[in-house]
Amino acid sequence: MTKSPRARDIGLQFDGTPGPLNAITDVAGITVGFSTVIEDPIAGVHNGLCTGVTAIIPRGASGDIEPVWAGIHSFNGNGELTGSHHIKDLGWFMGPVMLTNSHSVGIVSHATVGWMIARYPEVFAKDHMWCLPVVGETYDGALNDINARGVTEAHALQSLNTAATGPVSEGNVGGGTGMITYEFKGGTGTASRRVEIAGKSYDLGVLVQANHGTRDWLEISGVPVGRLMRDDLVAPSDLGSIIVVIATDAPLLPHQLDRLARRGGLGIGRNGTKGGHSSGDIFLAFSTANPQKNPWYAPDIMLLEALKDTHLDPLFAAAVQATEEAVVNAMIAATDRIAVKPKGKVVRAIDHQRLMEVIRAYRRT
Amino acid sequence: MTKSPRARDIGLQFDGTPGPLNAITDVAGITVGFSTVIEDPIAGVHNGLCTGVTAIIPRGASGDIEPVWAGIHSFNGNGELTGSHHIKDLGWFMGPVMLTNSHSVGIVSHATVGWMIARYPEVFAKDHMWCLPVVGETYDGALNDINARGVTEAHALQSLNTAATGPVSEGNVGGGTGMITYEFKGGTGTASRRVEIAGKSYDLGVLVQANHGTRDWLEISGVPVGRLMRDDLVAPSDLGSIIVVIATDAPLLPHQLDRLARRGGLGIGRNGTKGGHSSGDIFLAFSTANPQKNPWYAPDIMLLEALKDTHLDPLFAAAVQATEEAVVNAMIAATDRIAVKPKGKVVRAIDHQRLMEVIRAYRRT
Amino acid sequence: MTKSPRARDIGLQFDGTPGPLNAITDVAGITVGFSTVIEDPIAGVHNGLCTGVTAIIPRGASGDIEPVWAGIHSFNGNGELTGSHHIKDLGWFMGPVMLTNSHSVGIVSHATVGWMIARYPEVFAKDHMWCLPVVGETYDGALNDINARGVTEAHALQSLNTAATGPVSEGNVGGGTGMITYEFKGGTGTASRRVEIAGKSYDLGVLVQANHGTRDWLEISGVPVGRLMRDDLVAPSDLGSIIVVIATDAPLLPHQLDRLARRGGLGIGRNGTKGGHSSGDIFLAFSTANPQKNPWYAPDIMLLEALKDTHLDPLFAAAVQATEEAVVNAMIAATDRIAVKPKGKVVRAIDHQRLMEVIRAYRRT
Amino acid sequence: MTKSPRARDIGLQFDGTPGPLNAITDVAGITVGFSTVIEDPIAGVHNGLCTGVTAIIPRGASGDIEPVWAGIHSFNGNGELTGSHHIKDLGWFMGPVMLTNSHSVGIVSHATVGWMIARYPEVFAKDHMWCLPVVGETYDGALNDINARGVTEAHALQSLNTAATGPVSEGNVGGGTGMITYEFKGGTGTASRRVEIAGKSYDLGVLVQANHGTRDWLEISGVPVGRLMRDDLVAPSDLGSIIVVIATDAPLLPHQLDRLARRGGLGIGRNGTKGGHSSGDIFLAFSTANPQKNPWYAPDIMLLEALKDTHLDPLFAAAVQATEEAVVNAMIAATDRIAVKPKGKVVRAIDHQRLMEVIRAYRRT
């Protein structure tokens, strides 16, 4: 993994208590892998690639095909997260969550089907099991020649095959490589929270692919940073998107996970977004608790644990907090990139020193 | 209860195996009560009342305040079923399901709040418990002076206080008193199915308040009855609605109950409806399994049973079959009424003998 | 109307440009009325009433029965807004939007049906028109003997019959009388924004009934006020709710209004809420543009204006900003109340002077 | 195109008046293309391919990139139709609707992105336009070695590049090649209706990829055909899916198209399905009326026509009728295939002569 500075490293503060890694991988069993695709222009082929693929495998550590219970919310539907009909109706999904650029959803989905079949040959060969991958996207056409469709099946497989537990790379990595956040360079970010509920400890982790917001909206720690840091503006309107993946080991039912997913909106709102029309803001929540066999092999009557409703608030707060921090982490870890459209435009990472001056001026450290 | 003929009594046949009562009360613990409001015109007060209230109390037999897990589907939203936000998000509701005419939803809701507070004084007095009743409606303005708002708080309480297990009245009774179905007199109908799943027996019961459809759409047992029985047509377009309440003792989670509720559409479709614009076709499904304390008093971690997905099909089929039969039962039990608007128009119950002649002519007995 | 101080009066600042009244009534044609019900305890009847009813009449100034196009979002469904099935499916509603306490939804709905029938006698008498009122609620059981069901039909009619254009009362008024916001006294609040889009000016107004949040979540102008003002805490968890009504004269279609409603979540998020489980956070958006006859009398083919998608962002931002300000206005206008449960507990309005000291200390003025 | 017998050719009757082609292409401007992929087994590569791709291009005749207004309903979410978030939120989509097998959604999506970029180079090259294709699927793993992922980008392009107006092939063609319907060979089917509304004539066309149902459920013309034709049963439970695409030139807004899509459930219900758990039953409706530039190039204020609500019933009925007929057409046109899993199992097309004997025996001709 690439070690980049994180928001807390430069002095930013957030509410709540993170897990040991402050990453989605604090939820036991989850692995994350990346394929980062950066290529100089090749005449007649593409004008420069700056993109990639992120793989989040909920049961990556065990390798089991067991589904995870899940919920979803499309706060702003100008985007894509495939697999949603299945999740909404059945309340679970199998296999990984893949994130990439808008024009690579198809090839990444194709690769994921192949990977699943190869990984669980006995299941797919023996039974009529189908695979409907979960693939999300945000648009990187400013920094990446997105129309060249440069992501390949091999890239997707690389992200899947390198997925690991432990610390998670951030910034210009994987699906987040070519992303822009509040007109600063953005990308992949992660964070986590550990909460105590009725004497038990639960982890909740978030991974975002952050590509949303206009500069004037940007707030960090309650400070209107975007109005105070006006250099290197990129575009006059919100053209991006954000995918928020929320994972937890707390035992939640699908309808509770729908509710948890919906809190993603409050999370991204904390950095000032107004949910611009052109942004696809889609949130997925899943729980690794209640491991069940695939429905075909599950017991006739499943026995599930579920936190009672009035215990949800710490998890709701954790989702909001970790989403907020993950977005800022994406920006803090990111590094400058030069655009392919408009050609030569520099998209700057946020200046850490200047940011902290602003934050301190408003006494928010 | 009023004993009226039922569809099977006159020779009609349906798929699936009903429970002992062929009624929603085959699901253990459910009680049903009615208040039927029929009054001659009173000058200056109303032009004639022909309406009422139906109360379905999921935990009526035990009297417990325990919620039931629930799901909902609004197939055609030109109607009302209050309490839906709560059911959709939390997956459960407390207290009864009330059915009445469109303009009496408010007073019935008001009465239900009072009834709940009086019934569970320690809960409402001690804690900050709130009550958001589930009240559905269909429009009876042809047979009832609906604008006189003749249903009172006392009527609603009567339906609640007389709710009982056992056989359920049908036709011109309770909320169904003034209803019209496929231009025949309609009303309240019920039916049930018993299914075996993995060695266990489950009951599923349906109660409908049927007020929908145009004559030419009507099919019974696959026969286009509505084209063959053309007397006493009422209105050229679908102005009605139907509320379908599906109850089961099978252990289903809220998201599974959403799916079950959605099958209500297939059920009403079997009698030929096209889902006319003016019809509010709203379906509620609940499970009496997994009794839980109110969330405030539930254990920190609830332990719930849930049928595995691939076992749902018998319940889906049961919901479709019981809904179809409940609609026909409503029509078979109903008796003629004279309209208040247009004044004097006779709304005839379907002629049993003529119906069976038609059915037999098409070899569907 | 009652003149109370507003957030801007005491020096707070917000983004965006308000309309002349900085109220929902900046949207031409809307009238707002209140019935405030405050009564000392009466032995054997109630332990003290502190509640009321708010009426927002979209076409109040003209008195027309014409529907308004509408959208809805249930961010947190632990609450009620009746009429939602109709709005979701048909995209419009007729008549007023009523707000009251949780246990008075029924009686207010009942009253509203009566008011509509009386107001448009020719429509309801002549045709089979039905009325399914839009009634929202939040819970005031701490300050009001909510189980006494003290709101009457007359109270609801009073709010409807006194509805007027012009400035709008805030704080302890109407449905907001007994509300608590972030553990300060809350209530009714309003605000508006005027935006320019493609050379035209549009108004967007918000009215909230704010009853949500825990103290530690509270932020104002980005400052963590709730951690700095710790006196007179009320309850350890979020037990409230908030209804957000967003009105505009911009020509938006129902699906666009759904999107606008969803931005209510970002709006309330700006003051720090995490969307606690017990809170019913439901948002309604409507547009007074494209006045249409009731569908029955509408032209065969309606001709509708609709802003193009990429012009929505100023309205989205306006909805977020006005919602944020309306919540703060509700708190600033509110005055202390003594609870009925727990009896004698004082719920304080936020101290304006102390608040501004905190805000200034963080340089946010 | 392949000329196969159709339901009406063998004497079956349906309600409503079809358009000239009784096909989705009766809606002016729509083109349909197929790529049918049938290959004998190749050792080490695949065990036999029997699959394909169907392309429906709403603005195929004009070639314009103009979006169509659209709505969607997921009756049973155990399937996939990508592009749904966009359709649900924005109410429109650009480009084709693609149908294929479950494991080829990704490659077909990938191909469609490439096709769109190549077809509209100035739009994608000049602006930051993104493409999120609409791709649906049903599972053909019994007749096709679905895990071999035999559909290629070239196949998808072939379906797009051969799309034409005029009659539409049915049965074992395109995405429907390997489908099974009520345990008979199924596949692609289409039908249409022409309706008169307020003096104007509108076309509504349906195309289905039918792969659903168990034999015992099957009804045709109200006759329980599936209980009377028991030869060559395939599987004991519903393992399939059905995608229903409903097109019309009637001017409908997105929320009205959502309602139209929902009627797909009544349409498939007419042949007896209970909506089995394993079936992904997803319905898409679009209107070619109100052609609008892509939102970026649309006028600031769009002017849209919309049929008034009370005129929707003929279209609702047309959607139900055409869906029913399209499913039967798929079965009538289909021809026998031999399964790859279980190897050698013959999946028979329904015997036309025997079917008509059954139908006539019940007097339904």
Q: Do A90 and B254 touch (CB under 8 A)?
A: no
Phi-psi region of A261 (alpha: psi -120 to 50; beta: other; left: phi over 0): alpha
- Is there a contact between B178 and B140 (Cβ–Cβ < 8 Å)? yes
- The total number of structural domains in chain B stands at 1
Task: Report pLDDT for A237.
Answer: 72
* Closest-CA residue to D132 (of A77, A94, A182): A77
Is residue D146 a contact partner of residue D139, using CB atoms and an 8 Å limit?
yes
Average pLDDT of span D233-261: 93
Task: State which residues form the domain around B341.
Answer: 16-291+306-364
Q: For residue D2, is it within any domain?
A: no
Strands C337-340 and C343-347: antiparallel
- Is the separation of the CB atoms in C228 and C354 below 8 Å? no
| pLDDT recorded at residue C128 | 87
Residue range C38-60, pLDDT digits in tens: 999 999 999 999 999 999 999 99
Does the predicted TM-score (pTM) go above 0.90? yes
Amino acid at C262: R
Neighbours of chain B (3+ CB pairs under 8 A): A, C, D
- Is residue B278 part of the annotated active site? The answer reads no
* Partner residue facing C78 (CB), from B90, B124, B135: B90
Q: What is the pLDDT of residue A176?
A: 98
Which of A85, A114, A135 comes nearest D77 by C-beta?
Answer: A85
**CB–CB of A105 and D105 under 8 A?**
no
* Strands B49-57, B31-39: pairing kind: antiparallel
Percent of chain C with pLDDT over 90: 93
When comparing pLDDT for A112 and C294, which is higher? A112
Tally of CB atoms within 10 A around B8: 16
Decide: A356 and A11 in contact? Cβ < 8 Å.
yes
The C-alpha angle with vertex C39 and arms to C33 and C40, in degrees rounded to 5, equals 165
Q: Are strands B343-347 and B134-138 parallel, antiparallel or unpaired?
A: unpaired
pLDDT in the model for residue B1: 63
Asked if residue B11 is part of any domain, the answer here is: no
Would residue A1 count as lying in a domain?
no
pLDDT in tens, C240-252: 899 999 999 999 9
D349: DSSP letter: P
- What confidence tens digit (pLDDT) does each residue in C4-26 have? 999 999 999 999 999 999 999 99
Q: Which chain C residues are within 8 Å of B102, Cβ to Cβ?
A: 130-132
Using CB atoms, pick whichever of A200, A296, A308 lies closest to residue B299: A308
Looking at residue C238, its pLDDT comes to: 65
Q: Please, are residues A208 and A327 in contact by the beta-carbon 8 Å criterion? A: yes
**pLDDT at residue B235 in the model:** 84
Provide the β-strand partners of residue D192. Answer: D205
Among residues A288, A289, A309, which one has the least CA distance to residue A197? A309
Apex CA A273: angle with CA C12 and CA A179, to 5°?
A: 145
CB contact under 8 A, C255 and D251: no
pLDDT above 90: residue D273: yes
B181 neighbors B214 (Cβ within 8 angstroms): no
Tell whether B138 is covered by a domain: yes
Q: Compute φ and ψ for A85, nearest 5 degrees.
A: -60, -40
Structure confidence at residue B239 (pLDDT):
72
Whether residue D295 is predicted with pLDDT greater than 80 in this model: the reply is no
Query: What's the rounded mean pLDDT across residues B262-291?
Result: 97
Task: Say if residues D303 and C304 touch (Cβ distance below 8 Å).
Answer: yes
CATH number at residue D315: 3.60.70.12
Chain A: which residues have CB within 8 Å of chain B?
89-91, 197-200, 251, 253-256, 258-259, 295-296, 298-311
A106 to D111: CB separation less than 8 angstroms, yes or no: yes
ipTM above 0.95, yes or no: yes
Q: Write down the mean pLDDT value for chain C.
A: 96
The per-residue pLDDT of chain B, averaged, comes to 96
pLDDT of amino acid C294: 75
DSSP run (H or E) holding B331: helix B313-333
Q: Does residue A248 lie within any of the structural domains?
A: yes
Of C77, C135, C149, the CB nearest to B85: C77
Cross-sheet strand order for the sheet of B200-211: B92-93, B68-77, B280-287, B241-248, B200-211, B187-197
Out of A74, A105, A125, name the one closest to residue D88 (CB). Answer: A74
Q: What is the pLDDT of residues B329-340, one digit of tens each?
A: 999 999 999 999
B128:C114 CB<8 A: no
Minimal C-alpha gap between A67 and chain B (Å): 13
- Strands D92-93 vs D68-77: parallel, antiparallel or unpaired: antiparallel
Q: Do A255 and B304 touch (CB under 8 A)?
A: no
Q: What type of residue is B151?
A: V
Q: What is the pLDDT of residue D148?
A: 97
pLDDT of residue B2 exceeding 70, the answer is: no
Question: D299 contacts in C (CB within 8 Å)?
Answer: 308
Residue C130: burial class (beta carbons within 10 Å; 0-12, 13-18, 19+): buried
Q: Is residue C3 part of a domain?
A: no
pLDDT over 90 percentage in chain D? 93
Residue A72 pairs in a beta bridge with A284
Domain-embedded: residue C296: no
String of DSSP letters for C96-142: -EEEEEGGGHHHHHHHHHHHHHHHSHHHHHHS------EEEEE--TT
> For residue A185, what are the CA distances in angstroms to A144, A158, D188?
13, 24, 47
**Distance (Å) from the alpha carbon of D308 to chain A's nearest alpha carbon:** 27
Of A120-134, A149-163, B44-58, D323-337, the range with the lowest mean pLDDT is A120-134
pLDDT digits (tens, 9 = 90+) for B186-219: 999 999 999 999 999 999 999 999 999 999 999 9
- Residue D294's pLDDT is 75
Q: With bands split at pLDDT 50, 70 and 90, how would you rate the model's confidence at D186?
A: very high
CA-atom Rg of chain B in angstroms: 19
- Tell me the pLDDT of chain A (365 aa) as tens digits: 668 999 999 999 999 999 999 999 999 999 999 999 999 999 999 999 999 999 999 999 999 999 999 999 999 999 999 999 999 999 999 999 999 999 999 999 999 999 999 999 989 988 889 999 999 999 999 999 999 999 999 999 999 999 999 999 999 999 999 999 999 999 999 999 999 999 999 999 999 999 999 999 999 999 999 999 999 999 877 678 999 999 999 999 999 999 999 999 999 999 999 999 999 999 999 999 999 887 778 999 999 999 999 999 999 999 999 999 999 999 999 999 999 999 999 999 999 999 999 999 998 87
Structure tokens at A249: 């080991």
Nearest Cα to Cα of residue D178 among D206, D215, D150: D150
Percent pLDDT > 70 in chain D is: 99
Tell me what the mean pLDDT of segment D122-148 comes to: 94
- Tell me D350's DSSP state: P
- The model's pLDDT over B296-313, given as tens digits with 9 standing for 90+, comes to 789 999 999 999 999 999
Separation between Cα atoms, residue C18 and residue C153, nearest integer Å:
35
Q: How far apart are CA D5 and CA D329, in angstroms?
A: 8
Average pLDDT over chain D reads 96
Q: Which residue of B has its CA nearest to D359?
A: B362
Report the pLDDT value the prediction gives residue A299, as an integer from 0 to 100: 94
Look at the alpha carbons of D211, D217, D221, D225 in this order and tell me if their dihedral is positive or negative: positive
Stretch B130-157: mean pLDDT: 97
Active-site annotation holder among D140, D241, D249, D287: D241
Q: Determine the Cα–Cα distance for residues D80 and D280; give it in Å rounded to an integer.
A: 7
- C80 to chain B: which residues are within 8 Å by CB? 82-83, 85-86, 132
**What are the C-alpha distances in Å from D85 to residues D69, D70, D93, D229?**
14, 12, 10, 41
Question: For the segment C113-137, what is each residue's pLDDT rounded down to a tens digit?
Answer: 999 999 999 899 888 899 999 999 9
d(C-alpha C91, C-alpha C89), whole Å: 6
D125, exposed or middle or buried, with CB in 10 Å at 0-12, 13-18, 19+?
exposed
The interaxial angle of helices B254-262 and B313-333, nearest 10 deg, is 50
Task: Say if B90 falls within a structural domain.
Answer: yes
Question: Is A253–B298 a contact, with Cβ atoms under 8 angstroms apart?
Answer: no
- Residues of B in Cβ contact (< 8 Å) with C178: none
Edge-to-edge strand ranges of the sheet holding C134-138: C31-39, C49-57, C97-101, C134-138
Q: Do B305 and A306 touch (CB under 8 A)?
A: no
